[in-house]
Amino acid sequence: MTPDANGILPYATIVYSCPKKGGKSSLGGAVAAWAAEEFDPGSEIYVVASSQEQAEGRVMRDAKFHVEHAERWNIRDDNMVTAYKIQYPNDSYIQALAKSYKAAAGSRHSLSVWDELWAYLSRLDMRMWAELTPIPTVKNSIQFVATYAGFENESDLLWDLYLKGVGTDEHPEGRGQPIPGLEDLPCWSNGRLFVYWDHENRMPWQTDQYLTQQLAALRPAEYLRFHENRWVTSHEEFIPAEWWDRAAAAYPKDALIWREHPYRTYPVFVGLDAATKHDCIAIVGVCYDGAKGDIIQLFHRIWTPVPGEVFDFETTIEPFLMDVKKNFNLQAIAYDPKDMHQTSVRLVRAGLPMIEYTQSPSKMTAASHALSEVLRADNFRAYPSEEMRNHLRMAVAEGRAGGFTIRKDKARAARPVDAAIALAMATRLAIASGGVNANEPIRLESAFGDRTAWGTTDPSSPAWLPHQFREDDQ
């Protein structure tokens, strides 16, 4: 980054990409602090992230560290460091900025630091990026991107920079060129774009032990993206077949048939996934053994649609759930209110504990993670069922910014996954409840509960004290 004779830096956009925990945010903070000190007075520097709290909590925290240890400035004594802004005596400043393009409109930025660009997916994100591209009216106006890899066919903004910047030795479609003198490093350039794209774990804390633990804990695509900085597709199989087969060998039958099921009297949590046509209706009931940390599937019921016909919920869902209420210790039924309003009203009137569980990305991500984790950790117990197995095997995990969620594979649209979705909802509900029976009152013994046992109302009497604190032996 040596400037030319006019003081102009050679690159306007710099992409620094390495595996997770590779020091990207720290480097972003250092770059921001460097620009504030070395660029012209009055420079505007923005740290951009998916939320203002994230920007302040990551890169800004590292920028503040550099500021507090800089010998050139004594900013702490001037009270010029706030939660979202660092003001320098030379009128330059570093400000945390949530990804809202309107907030960036009209700025005269010398530097914008972008944290995890792979997560910038929406049209508003594209507008934010466009607002903070380098501008010609500022001597040096640059973008610095610190990120790891994203999802193919989804993280388009980062993907375009990647292909434009890397060389063919990194990707066959790469258009970047090796940089003389840096051939041994994963560096390329294309005009005023510089890209460093590394797959190696180079930090001392990225030990073999740490990576082995991460490999065991993460899904394969997550490990490749996080710890090898590889691009992955947003879809992969939800669970390996052996996870389900291992779990389904626990009990010979479901609790609808097998009245002696060891968990039949436990509090039951039900997931319901329903649509009026095209998709299946699936109901799955589970319980939670808090002592063992196990989720136990007790029963399920699946209705398959008939082409050209519309499901009648009154003859399918409603009588089945009424039987569940009659025969099990029913605690809650999680359902998406879409297409279910009238049915839910009738069931609530009948005394069933209906709980709205909108299948939003955040809620289904939580449910999908809950089910995947208990299956991966061998904390799920079920019974043999070919239709449940098929629904789980047809499900794919769609990667998202916050994790992954169960989805139907578009290439196998005719293959149902509704029971997998219902099971995930039920699992999430059961774990969140802790397996507590909400129908029975919880009694807590009070140390002062026997204060009237000695027939006195005198507050100075020892009888008012718990027996542990009495000096006499009454």
Domains of the chain (ranges; CATH) run 13-197 (3.40.50.300), 208-232 (no CATH), 241-433 (3.30.420.240)
Contact 231, 152 (CB under 8 A): yes
Strand 354-356 and strand 193-197: the pairing is unpaired
Handedness of CA 124, 127, 129, 132 (dihedral sign): negative
Q: What is the mean pLDDT of each run of 10 residues along the chain (474 residues)?
A: 77 95 88 87 85 59 70 58 79 80 69 89 84 84 92 87 94 93 94 95 92 81 87 78 91 94 96 80 94 95 80 88 95 90 92 92 90 93 93 81 70 72 95 71 54 52 56 51
For residue 453, the model assigns a pLDDT of 45
For residue 452, the model assigns a pLDDT of 46
What are the residues facing 67 on neighbouring strands? Answer: none
| Cα–Cα distance measured from residue 200 to residue 17, given in angstroms and rounded to the nearest whole number | 11
DSSP annotation string for 17-65: E--TTSSHHHHHHHHHHHHHHHS-TT-EEEEEESSHHHHHHTHHHHHHH
Contact 392, 239 (CB under 8 A): yes
| Cα–Cα distance measured from residue 207 to residue 212, given in angstroms and rounded to the nearest whole number | 9
- Over its C-alpha atoms, the chain yields an Rg (Å, rounded) of 30
Q: What is the Cβ-side half-sphere exposure of residue 225, based on CA atoms within 13 angstroms?
A: 22
* C-alpha 416: how far from chain center: 25
**Whats the size of the chain, residue-wise?**
474
| Cα–Cα distance measured from residue 333 to residue 272, given in angstroms and rounded to the nearest whole number | 7
| Cα–Cα distance measured from residue 251 to residue 140, given in angstroms and rounded to the nearest whole number | 68
| Cα–Cα distance measured from residue 473 to residue 256, given in angstroms and rounded to the nearest whole number | 56
Q: Scanning the structure block, which residue is given the tokens 């500022």?
A: 138
